[in-house]
Chains A and B, each alone.
Chain A
């Protein structure tokens, strides 16, 4: 009985827990924009010196 209750709780907490995969995708996009900006300016800098 106790084990069933524990399993139910476990299942319940799993359901409310959002996976946040989309968050990581979004944060990756942020990182890509930062790196891309850096690379564009670095490319222009190298081309101009």
Chain B
């Protein structure tokens, strides 16, 4: 089998396809920054894990919360935002016939705004003036420059959203009555979500936190700030998820030699995720005071509603796998799984990512329920859940994408050696995440809190009982850093050193007998209005209550 893989990979990837050098440069820059963030953020994660396990004492000039803030900022904001934008801009370029010159300019403006913002945010973190962790919850207050940096990042992402809207609108103008190609449709959904999700966090930072940290106002309404943050934060999680899902629906079927499942179902899943997403933010506050039971119940319902498109996705993807495998001679009830290309990293990495989403999604569904969340709230379980969703489901899909996207934009090819390295990296990452996220889940059930540096609470028996699990966490973290190094090496190799050649942008075709997708799926104006109505239903009453019945408010605190 191993001998057949390289030939197969060469056959399925290295076909002549083009990308203009200008468009390639944009994606290349975004992807490069994303993987550098992975490298630095990964090392910070290791330091954090070793410290949390009691194996490493940090020097006096570095504290746990500082490391946590930088780790979060680099991996949650920089890695994901830069990868998502780079990937979708390549998708827009490929499927819509190249980026418009003004869209390219906007993409660069967005890139540099984000870079400036990132540098501004990092400086106070390095100075230990912004160890507020990645959720930057008031009343913890960082240096104002940290928030100014966040404003620049928001502006940069908004610029990219606007660029994508211009690109898609131009294509629609020139192709009246046509369906936007499916990857560009995914990009539209993602950028619509990004655009609207950034509004609440921009209000939080610009209108509330910045004047408060600058001393222009004395207090801040903590509940309003938290609510605005999670309207963005939860949506961001699902933006990553939607990005990963785009590769599952469109790219993976092509790589395994199959066809896409129903185009209509795919577009309905995108619409459903866009319309219902922002309201899910409240389930992050399900234990918070000041929200009445009726509103919490409505939010549980809205959060669980997001599960439906995910279950539709599970069915669609399993169906694609089974159909493709059976066409290749797969037999038996589950024996057809053997026909999957397990030696091809472009399939293996996203496939394991999908499998990881089963327990990750299950945990998410359970955590959305008030009573069940009380068992795990603010424990390490949540951190484990987060690593399962972002670290496995999303990031492993990003890794899988990188093995064809990076050669595609670099006009190079994926070599059998790098494919093999990718397979090894995928398994190391998988084992590392199982150890780390598994230990986090378990120790969370035993009561170990999140967002806390190592302590034995005066050698309390309960806290000492967490130690074996924290050791597993450290072992997992060590394996993961090996995975990070291998992955970054693979990306650098494919970007700068792999043999020259043309790599295909893999997009699966629909089934031959596919039914025609109705045009109402293209009515983005309607979906945005529906989304805004749902958002208003979810947020107007609670926010009004928080403002009208506002507590005295809080002055800024520096807790570290």
Q: Report whether A30 and B311 are in contact in the complex, using a CB–CB cutoff of 8 Å.
A: yes
Chain B: interface secondary structure? helix
Q: Are B375 and A41 in contact (CB under 8 A)?
A: yes
Say yes or no: B358 contacts A27, CB within 8 Å: no
Interface string of A10-24 (1 = CB under 8 A from B): 000000101111110
B334 pairs with A22, CB closer than 8 A: yes
Is A44 part of the binding interface, using a Cβ–Cβ cutoff of 8 Å?
yes
With A25-B334, A29-B358 in contact, do A18 and B327 touch (Cβ < 8 Å)? yes
Complex Cα spacing A19 to B326, Å: 9
Give the distance in Å from the alpha carbon of A22 to the alpha carbon of B365 in the complex: 24
* A5 within 8 Å of B (CB atoms): no
> Number of B residues whose C-beta is below 8 Å from A?
28
Give the nearest-CB partner of A17 in chain B. B323
* B331-372 contacts to A (CB < 8 Å): 333-334, 336-337, 358-359, 361-363, 365-366, 369, 371-372
For the complex formed, measure the closest distance between the CB of B196 and the CB atoms of chain A, giving whole angstroms.
Answer: 29
Which of B318, B327, B337, B369 has the largest count of A CB atoms less than 10 A from its CB? B318
Query: How would you classify the secondary structure of chain A's contact residues: helix, strand, loop or mixed?
Result: helix
| Pair B334/A41 contact, Cβ less than 8 Å | no
B263 CB within 8 Å of chain A: no
- Partner of B372 from A25, A27, A29, A42 at Cβ < 8 Å: A42
B319 touches A41 (CB 8 A): no
B371 pairs with A42, CB closer than 8 A: yes
Please tell me which one of the listed residues A20, A22, A44 contacts residue B375 in the complex, with CB atoms under 8 A apart.
Answer: A44
Q: Is the CB of A37 within 8 A of B322?
A: no
Residues of A within 8 A of B358 (CB): 29-30, 33
Q: What range describes how many residues of A lie at the interface? A: 20 to 34
Given contacts A18-B323, A38-B365, contact A44 B445 (CB under 8 A): yes
Nearest CB of B to A18, in Å: 4
Given that A30-B311, A34-B365, A37-B366 are contacting pairs, would A23 and B318 also be in contact in the complex, using a CB cutoff of 8 Å? yes
Cβ–Cβ contact A18 & B322, under 8 A: yes
Shortest Cβ gap from B415 to chain A (Å): 33
Tell me how far the C-beta of A22 lies from the nearest C-beta in chain B, rounded to whole angstroms. Answer: 5
Query: Nearest chain-A residue to B367 (Cβ)?
Result: A41
Is the CB of B314 closer than 8 A to any CB of chain A? yes
B301 CB to closest chain A CB (Å) equals 16
A45 and B327 form a contact (CB under 8 A): no
> Are A27 and B366 interface neighbours, CB within 8 A?
no
Q: Is B336 in contact with A37, judged by CB distance below 8 angstroms?
A: no
Residues of B within 8 A of A36 (CB): 362
Contact A25 B366 (CB under 8 A): no
| Nearest Cβ on chain A to B550's Cβ, whole angstroms | 32
14 new A-B pairs (CB below 8 Å) besides A18-B326, A22-B336, A45-B375?
Answer: A18-B323, A18-B327, A25-B334, A26-B318, A29-B358, A30-B314, A30-B361, A34-B361, A38-B362, A38-B366, A44-B375, A45-B371, A45-B372, A48-B375
Q: Can you offer 20 A-B residue contacts whose CB atoms are under 8 A? A: A16-B327, A18-B323, A18-B326, A19-B326, A20-B319, A22-B318, A22-B336, A23-B319, A23-B322, A26-B314, A33-B359, A34-B361, A36-B362, A37-B363, A41-B366, A41-B372, A41-B375, A45-B371, A45-B372, A45-B374
